[in-house]
A and B are shown apart, each in its own frame.
Chain A
Amino acid sequence: MSLPRIQHKLTYHRGSVNSAVFDASGEYIFTGGQDKIVRLIKSSTGEQIQAFSGHGWGIQGLAVSQDSSSLASCGGTDRAVYVWDVGQAQLVRKLSGHTQHVDCVAISGNGSIIASGSFDKTVRVWDTRSSAAQAQLQVLDESKDGISSLVLTQTEIIAGSIDGCVRTYDMRTGRVLVESFGGQPVVCARVVGSGKCMLVSSMGGSIQLIDRSDGTAMAAFSGHKCTEYRIQCDASDAAVASGSEDGFVYLWDILRDSETGAASRRLEGHSGIVNTVVFHPSANVDQAKRHSMLSAASDGNVIIWE
C-alpha cells in the first residue's frame, strides 16, 4: 500500500479541530473546532470559502446533506443542533431539546431528518420541515450512557454509545438491534462496505470490522492509542484509517493487516491528538482518490492527504 502524502495543511482554526467531513462530492470539506466556527474549505486548493459563526461553544460534530445545501452542527454546551444554509451561510434553525452537550449529529440525504446524540443518553430525531414546536419527532432513550457516534442510513439509525453497545434502530422492522462489544466504550461507529459492514472503534485501542448480517467480527485492528478521547476512524474498501492520541494517523490494509491487526502505516503530520480521519467519498470508486483522506487534530491543523 502506497503511503499517502500531505496535500494541504490547513491552519485556519485556532484551537482543537474536533470534527471534519467531506461533502458528498468530495470537493469541499467542513471543519469545526473549539473556536466555535465551522469553515467551508475547498479541498483541492485548501482555500477557505466560508466561515459559519454562531455557536457559543466548541463544535463537536458536523453533518452535511447529500446535496451539500444543509449543514448540521452540534456544539458542546450549546445543547442544541444548528442547521445552516450553506449557500446563504446563515443559521436557519436551532434545534433545542437535549439536556446535556450534544456530541454527534447525522443528517439524512435530503436534509429533512437530523439525528443528534448527546451526553444525556438520548438520540433525538428532528424534522427540519416542521415548525419549531413539532420539530422533535422522536426521542430514543434506550442507551445507558452518552452517545458518541451516530450514523443515519436510508432506513436505520445507528448509535454508538459509551456503554459499550451499538444500537441499530430499523424503521422498516420496528426493531432495535443492540450489539455489545466487550463492555469497552464505543467511540466511533461507521457503516462501510456499502452498508454490509460496520466499523466499531472502542476505547482501549481496538477497531472491529463487523459483519452486519450476523454480528461476527471479520477483522480487528489495533496499535493506535485511544484511552481518553473520542478518536474517530473510517474505512474504505481497501484500508482502515484511524486517529490516535499519539499524534499519528494509523492506516491498516484490510486484507493484509486483518490477520495481525498491527498497523501497516503510521502517518506523521500532526502534533496533537488526531481527533478524526475521514476518507474521500470517491475513495472506493476513483483509484486516484483511494488514499485521499482528511484528518483533523487538536493542534488546530487539518491535513488533506492525497
Chain B
Amino acid sequence: MSKRPHTTAQKYGDIDGDRVDFIHVGTEFPSASHRPSAPFQNQHRTWDGKPRDYSRDAFKGGFNAGYRGTAGSKEGWQPTVQFVSSKTKRAERSLMHPEDFMDDEDLADIQAARKIAVAGEYAAGTSSTVPGQLAKAEGASSGVVGDIAKRMAAEFGAIQARTSTRIGDIMMAKMGWKLGQGLGALTRVVDHHASSAPRRLPPKPVPLVACAPKTTMHGVGYGLEAGDLPANVDDEGSLVEPTLPALGALFKRSTTKPTTVALPSSSIETAKAKRKAAKTEKLKLSFDDDDDDDDDVSAGGALYRHSRDSESALATLARKPTKMASLTLPSSIAAHSADFCHDGRPPIDGFVLARSTEPEFRHYDGPVVPESFTGARSSSQSRWDSVPAVGSQSRISSHGDSLLVTANDRALLGIMETPGTAGQTLQPPQHIDTETAKAALAGRFEPYESDPAKQTRYVAFLEACASSSHNKLLHQEAGSACAATAEAIEFAKMAQVFRLSTVMSSRFTSGSAAADLSSSGPDSALKLSNNTPTSLKIDAIRTTLDWTPSRLLCKRMNVPPPAQTPVESSSKQQTANNKARRARAADFILWDRGPNDTLVPMVLANKPGDEPESSDPAQLQRPDLSLFKSIFGNDE
C-alpha cells in the first residue's frame, strides 16, 4: 500500500494528504517516456523470431524452394533432415532390454549392486584380484596404496553386508534398524594407534550360540571330547573375540562310547594362539572418517576396534588356560580345573564355584523351656503313642480333653487318662465286646507279622476280650502303662476293622483255620472260597448293562448286530422317505390368495382325513400336487 503522491491528492482535491481511498498493488510500470524503445531488429520479428514477412502458409515457394542458394555449390542440395527409415526404428524397438522393464528403483539397485574391485596390481602386495583375499594379505601390506585398498575393501564389504538374509535382520530392518547398527547403545572405543578422540561405535555383535540337537538319552556333557567343541558360528564374532566354545556345544551327539581323554597340550596352545590372533587383529576404520555419530552404517559391526578395557579382559581370558581335558564326566572336569565351570568358562562375577558337596547344615537350638512348664503331653510319652495306629485322627490329651473324639467314641474306645494327671487311676481297657473279639479271632487275620511279640499280644487281647476277662492287664510286655493303653486302642481298632464280616478280613486269611462263613454278615458282598485256606480268590460281582454297538463296528467285526441297533437307512431309502414326507406335507399345506394376488400358505389344523372346520368348500382351494413338486423340487 502506498500513499498517493501529492499530485493525485491535489487532482481529486477533496482529501487531505493522510487519507487513502485506493491502494496500489504491484509495481508500477515505468512511464512511457522512460520506456526504452525496442531494438530495430526486434521490431521486425515475430514472436518466434521469424521475420515479419515470413510466410507460414503451405509451400508457395516455387520449384526452387529449398534449393535457394544451392545451385552451383559444391555440396549441391542437401536435405536439411536426414531420412530415417521407420522400419529400422521398428527393428530397434523390438530389441528390449531388461532395463526397459525396470523402474527407477530397480535401476538404483543395479547401480548399487555394481561392485568396484581393486585391481590386482594395486592390491596389498599380492597379485590376487579377489577382494576377499585382501584381509589375509594384511601382514604383507605395505605402502599407502595397500592401506587404501584395504580400506576400500572393508568399506565395500560393509556395503555388501548391508543386505542380510537372516529373518531377524529383515524384521528389524523393517522397524528402522540398519545392518551394522548393532544392538544396544553405542560404545566408546579407544583407538590407541591414532591420537584421535575416542569414537562411538556400535556395540559388539552378540555371537550366535551353536546348538546341535540332542538325540541321545545321555546327560549334558556326557561323552564329550574337547575336539568336539565348535567355535562360534558368527564370523564377525570370531574376528573380534576369542574363540570360546559355544554354550550349545555341550549338546552334541556322541556316537561313540565316552572315554576319558586328556586334551593334548598342543590343542590348548592352538586355541591360545587363535585368541591372540583375534585380539591383535586390527581392522582399519572406514575412509569416511568424519566424526559423525549418526553415521553408523559405514562403521559396520566388524570394523570397530577393541577398547583397552575389553582387551584386558580378553587378555585375561587368553592367559588363563582353559583346561578342557576329560570332559566326559562333570566330576572329572571339576577335578582338573578348579577355577572354571564345566564348559571352560570362568564363573560369572560375584559367583564362586561350590566345591564342597556336603551342604552346611545349620542347627538352631530350640527355645528354652522353663522348668515349671508342663505341656499337653508328658515328655516321656511320644506323641504317636496317643494316636491309634490304624489311622484314626483323634488326638488325646492328658487332661482328658479330646479335640476330635466325642465322648461316646471315647467310651467305646475306652480311652484312658494318661498318667501324670492328678487323681487318675489306670483302668483296664473295655475296648470291644465279646462278639467283636470272637469275630476278629474267627477272621484269622493276623497282623503285625514283622513283630511276633506284638502279634502275640494282639491275639491275647482278642482272646481276653472274647472271654470277658478284662481284669488282668494284658500288655505288661508293652512297656509303660501309657503305651499299653495306646496299644490296646490300636488292637481294638484293628479288631473292629478286620473282623470276619468285612471285606478286609476276607482278603487276608491265615493258614491254620478255615474261614467261618456263618459269621459273615448279611452285608457281605463277597463270597469266599472254602477249599483253599490261603486262597485269595475273589469271585466277580456281575452286573449287566445295555449297550448298542454301531452297525459299522459290527460290520467290520463280521458280527450280526444286536436287535436294538437302530437301522441306518440308505440314501435311496431316505430319498423315498423324503418324498413320502413331502406328499404328506402337501396334504397339510393349502395355498391361499394373499394381497397382490400372491400365493400364501395356509396350514390346516386337521389332517386330511378329518372333517374340515369350515364347511364352506369355496374357501379351501387346494392347488394341484404338481405345484408342490415344482416348488419343493424333485429328489431324483
Chain A residues, CB < 8 A from B549: 138, 169, 171, 174
Distance in angstroms between the alpha carbons of A14 and B507 in the assembled complex: 39
Q: Which of B310-318, B557-565, B580-588 contacts A (4 or more CB under 8 A)?
A: B557-565
B144–chain A nearest beta-carbon distance, Å: 63
- Taking a contact as CB atoms closer than 8 A, the residue among A15, A142, A217, A258 that contacts B538 in the complex is A217
Q: Given the interface contacts A182-B526, A206-B536, A220-B536, does A35 sit within 8 Å of B556 by beta carbon?
A: no
User: Contacts A174-B548, A217-B537 known; A113 to B553 CB distance under 8 Å?
Assistant: yes
What is the distance, in angstroms, from A66's C-beta to the closest C-beta of chain B? 13
Contact A174 B541 (CB under 8 A): no
Q: Which of A137, A155, A176 contacts B546 (CB 8 A)?
A: A176
Asked if B539 and A217 make an inter-chain contact with CB atoms under 8 angstroms apart, the answer reads yes
B residues 552-574 touching A (CB-CB < 8 Å):
552-554, 556-565
Kindly state the separation between the CA atoms of A219 and B535 in the bound complex, as whole angstroms: 8
Which 5 pairs of residues, A with B, have the shortest CB-CB distance? A174-B562, A217-B537, A215-B540, A179-B540, A220-B536
Binary contact track B506-544/A, C-beta < 8 Å → 1, others 0: 010000000000000000001001011011111111111
Known contacts A112-B556, A154-B559, A171-B549; is-contact A216 B541 (Cβ 8 Å): no
Our count of residue pairs bridging A and B at CB distance below 8 angstroms stands at 123
**Known interface pairs A127-B552, A127-B556, A261-B536. Does A171 touch B561 (Cβ–Cβ under 8 Å)?**
yes
Question: A220 CB to closest chain B CB, in angstroms?
Answer: 4
Q: Which residues of B contact A (CB under 8 A)?
A: 216-217, 503, 507, 526, 529, 531-532, 534-550, 552-554, 556-565
Confirm or deny: A175 has a beta carbon within 8 angstroms of a beta carbon on chain B: yes
Interface positions, chain A 104-126, Cβ under 8 Å from B, are 108, 112-113, 125
Nearest chain-B residue to A172 (Cβ)? B559
Chain A 257-296 interface 0/1 with B at a Cβ cutoff of 8 Å (1 = within):
0111110000000000000000000000000000000000
A259 to B530, CA, bound (A): 11
In the bound complex, how far is the Cα of B559 from the Cα of A229, in angstroms? 36
With a cutoff of 8 Å between Cβ atoms, the chain B residues found around residue A222 in the complex are 536
- The minimal Cβ–Cβ distance linking B442 to chain A, given in whole angstroms, is 20
- List, in ascending order, chain A residues with CB within 8 A of B542's CB: 177-179, 215
Of B529, B537, B543, B546, the residue contacting A174 (CB under 8 A) is B546
Residues of B within 8 A of A262 (CB): 534
A19 CB–B CB distance under 8 Å? no
| A182-B545 contact given A35-B217, A171-B553, CB 8 Å threshold | no
Q: Does A45 contact B (CB under 8 A)?
A: no
CA separation between A175 and B547, bound complex, in Å? 5
Interface: A161 (CB within 8 A): no
The distance in angstroms between the C-alpha atoms of A129 and B503, with both chains bound, is 48
29 A-B interface contacts by CB (under 8 A): A14-B216, A35-B217, A112-B556, A125-B550, A129-B556, A130-B552, A137-B550, A137-B552, A137-B556, A154-B558, A154-B559, A171-B554, A171-B559, A174-B547, A175-B546, A176-B544, A177-B542, A180-B540, A180-B541, A180-B543, A182-B503, A182-B538, A208-B536, A208-B537, A215-B542, A218-B537, A220-B535, A259-B531, A259-B532
Of A113, A176, A206, A210, which is within 8 A of B557 by CB?
Answer: A113
On chain A, the number of residues with a Cβ less than 8 Å from chain B's Cβ atoms is 47
Quick check: A154 and B546 within 8 Å, CB to CB? no
Out of B503, B534, B535, B557, which one reaches A108, CB within 8 Å? B557
- Within the assembled complex, what's the spacing in Å between the Cα atoms of A142 and B536? 28
Chain B residues near A140 (CB, 8 Å)?
547
**In the assembled complex, which residues on chain B have CB atoms less than 8 Å from the CB atom of A216?**
539-540
Known A182-B503, A217-B537, A261-B535; judge A125-B560 contact (CB<8 A): no
Chain A residues in 8 Å Cβ range of B556: 108, 112-113, 127, 129, 137
| Given contact pairs A175-B544, A216-B540, a sample of 11 additional A-B residue pairs in the complex whose CB atoms are under 8 Å apart | A125-B550, A174-B546, A174-B549, A179-B541, A182-B507, A208-B537, A208-B538, A210-B540, A219-B537, A220-B537, A220-B538
- Is A173 in contact with chain B by the CB < 8 A criterion? yes
| Other-chain contact of B540, A138, A170, A181, A258 (Cβ < 8 Å) | A181
The CB with the most chain A CB atoms within 10 A, among B542, B545, B557, B565, is that of: B557
- In the complex, A262 Cα to B533 Cα: how many Å? 12
Q: Which of A225-278 contact B (CB under 8 A)?
A: 258-262
Docked CA distance A258–B507 (Å): 16
Q: In the complex, are the beta carbons of A260 and B217 less than 8 A apart? A: no
Using A138-B550, A220-B537 as known contacts, say yes or no to A176 and B545 having CB atoms under 8 A apart: yes
Expressed in whole angstroms, the Cα–Cα distance for A138 and B555 within the complex equals 13
The answer to whether A217 touches B552 (Cβ under 8 A) is no
- B contact patch SS: loop
Q: How distant is A44 from chain B, measured CB to nearest CB, in Å?
A: 28
Please, how many angstroms separate the alpha-carbon atoms of A242 and B540 in the complex?
A: 21
How many angstroms between the C-alpha atoms of A216 and B547 in the bound complex?
24
The smallest beta-carbon distance between A72 and chain B, in angstroms, is: 15
Q: In the bound complex, what is the Cα–Cα distance between A237 and B510 (angstroms)? A: 29
Q: Say yes or no: A174 contacts B564, CB within 8 Å.
A: yes
Chain B residues within 8 Å of A219, by CB = 537
Which residues of B sit under 8 angstroms from A127, Cβ to Cβ?
552-553, 556
CA distance A231 to B532 in the complex (A): 25
A105 to chain B, nearest CB (A): 16
In the complex, what's the smallest C-beta–C-beta distance from A132 to chain B, in angstroms?
Answer: 15
Q: Residue of A at shortest CB range from B558?
A: A154
How far, in Å, is A281 (CB) from chain B's closest CB?
21
What chain A residues lie within 8 Å of B554 (beta carbons)?
A: 171
Nearest-neighbour CB distance to chain B for A243, whole angstroms, equals: 18
A206-B536, A259-B532 given as contacts; is B561 within 8 A of A178 (CB)?
no
> Measured between C-beta atoms, what is the minimum distance from A69 to chain B in Å?
16
Which residues of A from 198 to 223 have beta carbons under 8 Å from B? 206, 208, 210, 215-220, 222
Report the Cα distance A175→B526, complex, angstroms: 24
Q: Which residues on B sit within 8 Å (CB–CB) of A125?
A: 550, 553
A298 to chain B, nearest CB (A): 14
Given contacts A220-B535, A220-B538, A261-B532, contact A172 B560 (CB under 8 A): yes
Question: Across the interface, which residues of B come within 8 angstroms of A142, CB to CB?
Answer: 545, 547
Cβ–Cβ < 8 Å partners of B547 in chain A = 140, 142, 169-170, 174-176
- Which residues of the other chain, B, contact A108 by a CB distance below 8 angstroms? 556-557
Give CA–CA (A140, B546) in the complex, Å. Answer: 12
Residue interface mask A178-192, B partner, CB < 8 A = 1: 111111000000000
B529 contacts A217, CB within 8 Å? yes
Of chain B, the residue at the smallest CB distance from A128 is B556
Question: Whole-angstrom distance from the CB of B560 to the nearest CB of chain A?
Answer: 7
